[in-house]
Structure 1
Amino acid sequence: MMIMILLLCSVIFFTILYFHKQTTRKKGKTPPSPRRLPLIGNLHQLGRHPHRSLCYLSHRYGPLMLLHFGRVPVLVVSSADAARDVLKTHDLVFASRPRSKTYEKLLYNGRDVALAPYGEYWRQMKSVCVLHLLSNKMVRSFRDVREEEISLMMEKIRESSSLQLNLSKLLANLTNDVICRVALGKKYGSETDFKKLLERFTRLLGAFSVGTYVSWLAWIDWIRGLDGRLAKTRKDFDEFLERVVQDHEDGDGDKNDFVDVLLAIQRDKSVGFDIDRFSIKAMILDVFVGGMDTSYTLMEWAMTELLRHPNCMKRLQKEVRTICKGKSSVSQEGVQEMNYLRAVIKETLRLHPPLPLMVPHESTQDVILRDYHIPAGTHVMINAWAIGREAATWGPDVEEFRPERHLDSSVDFRGQDFELIPFGAGRRICPAISFAVVLNEMVLANLVHQFDWRFPVKCTEDQTGVAESTGIAIHRMFPLYAIASSTT
């Protein structure tokens, strides 16, 4: 009897093994993978700075590398050519976003634009965003807001001329004030509770959820308090946004900001489908999440590199001051002529993309990618930080800050050139590129036009270095301190 059972088990085992091999052969090979541990897979290899760890792993395993974060297969893309295959050749297959407990709890269960799954709802919301909130016409309409807030920041710097300034804080406050006025109609930066809430929100967005990748260990998120912090932060931010929306409904509805525009669309049903309250609040959250941290981070890194490279600073100042000679500030028209300014921004985005791993994608069906079989449900991380350091594209001095490399190059960051994709590409490209770029150009041009800058005399490597923070958006680990001297 025992022998019969053993024989039956053997037949079943080899039958399963045979069909598994046949299925694998039909599906094809998978991308190269580092060895993984039981249960957690390759999670232990991410380190404090995953974009760096994954870049180093790609040097060994190639530009398409398959990892496993717990139960989840993750394809890591680390070259421009591989990114083109994902975001252009197979754009539709990879157009969705993976589910995440953190994102769903904080962003109204995927009702925003940035993280909603690909489908009809996302297409409708994106059309509202592109046509009504972030069109070139709307970007131009907020010109006065940008100029007023930049002028106020310049006055603060002038009042502290020759004193040590926390430039990181100034740039963060400026970005917060501009976005609050554009999105909500007034500034909330002076309200300490709001600033703390916003910091808590962005910090939680980068929190690691064990349950997302190892479902049977989801209880750990509860034990360490993540679930409680997510619930409280969502409740607090929802109450804040509810007050903002209600204030707009009770106001005169003059359609000066994003909330007014969205409420008008909801009221008039002018886009052919209903927009509910949650969708309005989710889209406003997108403006903060997508615009606040990333914009000020880019300015912070640009000023860091210019201070570290005085020759680049002098060349940029010469360009700005020549074009704006005799003017007290830089206008939006003047910025259009500044080629070296654009080169500085491109080089900063190459070396310091604010979201180095970008927002993850997810495959919605099986696909063959460069002879590799990628199954449906695979998460995709595109390492923009690694792509910006490809020596084959950028040359042997790839680690150097050298804006001149962009002056004779047609490579741009608007999604057509995969060598530089800090805002993504394809269907899920960031719709706020124009809004972000105009603000960054105006701020940097005015900073170098009106002031000479230098590091404090007694400054440490922490202050002058490029050590990175942790989280989704990568800014400086330590605040940027500098001394401004007025040129007038």
Structure 2
Amino acid sequence: MDDFTLQIICISSLLSFATFCFCYLYYYHILHPRTRSQSVTLPPSPSKLPFIGHLHLLTAMPHVTFAQLAHKLGPIIYLQLGQVPTVVISSPELAEHILKTHDHLMANRPQLIAAQYLSFGCSDVTFSPYGPYWRQARKVCVTELLSSKRVNSFRLIRDEEVNRMLRAVAAHSNSELDVSESFFRLANHILCRVAFGKRFMDENHETSSGGGGKKKELVGVLTETQALLAGFCVGDFFPRWRWVNSVSGMKRRLTKNLKDLRMVCDEIINEHLSEKRGRSGDVLEKEDFVDVLLRVQKQEDDLEVPITDDNLKALVLDMFVAGTDTTSATLEWTMTELARHPKVMARAQDEVRQIAASRGRVEESDLPHLHYLRAVIKETMRLHPPVPLLVPRESMAECTIDNKYEIPARTRVLINTYAIGRDAESWENPLEYNPERFVGKDIIDFKGQDFRFLPFGGGRRGCPGFSFGLASVEISLARLLYHFDWALPQGVGADAVDLTEIFGLATRKRSALKLVPLIKNLPV
């Protein structure tokens, strides 16, 4: 191709882009100008660019960028992300307005493109619009999938998988171990068994016995699903332009992943149906999530909205996707901070070892007595919330925040738990890792009632699975601290541990955590 041809192509592209921008400005600002009452006061907003608004402010670490903006503009910020009006909340007082005072108006979800595909039309609990179906789906999750009785019924699975991890750790005694990988595999095994009834990966990254390629395929399909749900999609910021998803290649990628999800889920469901389990109470105790949802699906007379096969797939995948990354990330950050703070680790180990000394192992019945360990987990989640930007809400009607700022209807609302957890007005020495702040009479729990601490969100759309996730985190940490002493690799000091994050479904360490386990009490 000669230089003249290249120049013609460049000029043609520039003319096309200029025409496109002119059409956009003419249509949206001349033919359809926005009218707004002069009395309406929007929250503070930084300078924006034509066409894209504030999209240029979205970095690889948006929660950090938004926290920095909050320092300059205040705890409530208005952004125009492409065509989407967005409000970012960065203080516990304003979070209370959203999650409590105006919870009934802020309980909707924006229909994000990846969720429309991979949650089978946004029919899971996380992304489904507020209404009868969501209320029913949440009720099924709270009463059937994630009730105290059901969480307790999975105790054997947690016990087996944690002990399996301990044996793998013991095999690396006195040598460097990729702890991040161990935690990811643990969370994957637990969630696969709880959701689908069996493990889909062994320690060598190969398929377990039975099912062969299907099981290996499930792991790859779900990995792609998690990546797609975690990433930013350009089309989400320009909802009037559906063609953007085709041009960017996102539609093709989503369509393929949805097809793969349907295939592997259909195989799993058909496998469950073919087992023809009995209905005795003994068997009900051993139900996995697919079993439970198949049973509930048949109870049509008790359902306000029928549960379709696609709804069933969306609900069970929601439990898996939401649980895997958050569980492994919480374990990873907790062990990272313990390794950086040996005195804190020693105190946590002393507590665990005193409680379990008579039996030689930690049982789940011991967990309510491990007060300092729970404080360690809370302090970790304060500094490293697994979901630093809560899943966006969407206002269903105009409302007033803090008695002065108007939030228009259909505005996306983001709550920055990362910024709230590091707010100097709420926490003394907020950047210091100090579990003692959670020890004492003024106990802050995980349930989202104290808006300074929102690791699982709050209000109507708060995470219904927090007790299930905590059970896995607590028993894993307690046994790791009881059976092993832990050291950083030779030549790595506490200040040299990399704390760089990767933003995703859960915020994890960019570099894997490497530690050296030393057997203290031989695992069973």
Q: Which residue of 1 aligns with 2:426?
A: 393
Q: Which residue of 1 aligns with 2:520?
A: 487
Q: Which secondary structure state, in structure 2, belongs to the residue aligned with residue 25 of structure 1?
A: coil
Are 2:142 and 1:130 aligned? yes
Q: Match of 1:222, as an amino acid?
A: S
Q: Which residue of 1 aligns with 2:320?
A: 288
Q: Which residue of 2 aligns with 1:96?
A: 108
CA contact (8 A) 2:339 2:494 kept: no
Distance 2:302 2:352 in 1: 42
CA contact (8 A) 2:221 2:261 kept: yes
Distance 1:486 1:474 in 2: 30
Distance 1:463 1:222, change over 3 A: farther
Greater CA deviation, 45-54 or 452-461? 452-461
Residue 222 of structure 1 deviates from its aligned partner by: 2.7
Are 2:456 and 1:419 aligned? no
| Matching of residues 260-409 of structure 1 within 5 Å | 260-269=291-300, 271-273=302-304, 274-370=306-402, 371-395=404-428, 397-408=429-440, 409=442
Q: Which secondary structure state, in structure 2, belongs to the residue aligned with residue 35 of structure 1?
A: coil
Distance 2:234 2:338 in 1: 40
Residue 472 of structure 1 deviates from its aligned partner by: 3.2
Distance 1:460 1:125 in 2: 48
Residue 176 of structure 1 deviates from its aligned partner by: 0.7
Distance 2:51 2:504 in 1: 24
Of residues 223, 239, 255 in structure 1, which corresponds to 2:247?
A: 223
Residue 433 of structure 1 deviates from its aligned partner by: 0.8
Of residues 388, 401, 410 in structure 1, which corresponds to 2:443?
A: 410
Greater CA deviation, 112-121 or 451-460? 451-460
Q: Which residue of 2 aligns with 1:470?
A: 503
Q: Which secondary structure state, in structure 1, belongs to the residue aligned with residue 426 of structure 2?
A: helix
Q: Deviations over 1:377-403 (max 9, x none)?
A: 0000000000000111111x2111111
Q: Match of 2:37, as an amino acid?
A: T
Of residues 231, 236, 255 in structure 2, which corresponds to 1:207?
A: 231
Q: TM-score, normalised by structure 2?
A: 0.86
Distance 2:460 2:489 in 1: 45
Q: Which secondary structure state, in structure 1, belongs to the residue aligned with residue 37 of structure 2?
A: helix
Aligned-residue RMSD, C-alpha: 1.9
Distance 2:248 2:234 in 1: 10
Of residues 124, 138, 161 in structure 2, which corresponds to 1:149?
A: 161
Residue 161 of structure 1 deviates from its aligned partner by: 1.0
Q: Match of 1:261, as an amino acid?
A: V
Residue 252 of structure 1 deviates from its aligned partner by: 2.5
Distance 2:228 2:457 in 1: 23
Q: Which residue of 2 aligns with 1:48?
A: 60
CA contact (8 A) 1:324 1:330 kept: yes
Q: Structure 2, unaligned stretches of length 5 or more?
A: 1-28, 208-215, 278-282
- Number of residue pairs the alignment of both structures matches: 469
Q: TM-score, normalised by structure 1?
A: 0.93
Residue 212 of structure 1 deviates from its aligned partner by: 1.7
Of residues 421, 438, 441 in structure 1, which corresponds to 2:471?
A: 438
Of residues 78, 84, 95 in structure 2, which corresponds to 1:66?
A: 78
Greater CA deviation, 222-231 or 45-54? 222-231
CA contact (8 A) 1:171 1:296 kept: yes
Distance 1:328 1:217 in 2: 62
Greater CA deviation, 459-468 or 46-55? 459-468
Q: Match of 1:142, as an amino acid?
A: F
Residue 217 of structure 1 deviates from its aligned partner by: 5.7
Distance 1:461 1:341, change over 3 A: closer
CA contact (8 A) 1:51 1:386 kept: yes
Distance 2:126 2:48 in 1: 31
Residue 410 of structure 1 deviates from its aligned partner by: 1.9
Of residues 28, 34, 37 in structure 2, which corresponds to 1:24?
A: 37
Are 2:184 and 1:184 aligned? no
Distance 1:152 1:472, change over 3 A: closer
Of residues 124, 138, 142 in structure 2, which corresponds to 1:112?
A: 124
CA contact (8 A) 1:39 1:214 kept: no
CA contact (8 A) 2:54 2:81 kept: yes
Distance 1:342 1:271 in 2: 39
Distance 2:302 2:177 in 1: 47
Residue 276 of structure 1 deviates from its aligned partner by: 1.2
Distance 1:357 1:448, change over 3 A: same
Q: Deviations over 1:192-234 (max 9, x none)?
A: 4333222211111122211221246654433342221111111
Q: Which secondary structure state, in structure 2, belongs to the residue aligned with residue 392 of structure 1?
A: coil
Greater CA deviation, 272-281 or 241-250? 272-281
Greater CA deviation, 461-470 or 238-247? 461-470
CA contact (8 A) 1:64 1:77 kept: yes
Distance 1:225 1:280 in 2: 28
Residue 463 of structure 1 deviates from its aligned partner by: 7.6
Q: Deviations over 1:343-365 (max 9, x none)?
A: 00100110011110010000001
Q: Deviations over 1:7-61 (max 9, x none)?
A: xxxxxx9xx99x95xx5234x2111111111111111112120000000001111
Q: Which secondary structure state, in structure 2, belongs to the residue aligned with residue 116 of structure 1?
A: coil
Q: Deviations over 1:214-269 (max 9, x none)?
A: 24665443334222111111111221111111111111234411111111111233
CA contact (8 A) 1:210 1:218 kept: no
Of residues 129, 151, 157 in structure 2, which corresponds to 1:139?
A: 151
Q: Which secondary structure state, in structure 1, belongs to the residue aligned with residue 518 of structure 2?
A: strand
Of residues 49, 65, 68 in structure 2, which corresponds to 1:37?
A: 49
Greater CA deviation, 228-237 or 137-146? 228-237
Distance 1:266 1:109 in 2: 18
Distance 2:172 2:342 in 1: 22
Q: Deviations over 1:68-117 (max 9, x none)?
A: 10011000000000000010000000000011111111111110011101
Q: Match of 2:432, as an amino acid?
A: E
> Runs ≥4 in structure 1, deviation > 6 angstroms?
460-463
Q: Which residue of 2 aligns with 1:80?
A: 92
Q: Which secondary structure state, in structure 2, belongs to the residue aligned with residue 336 of structure 1?
A: helix
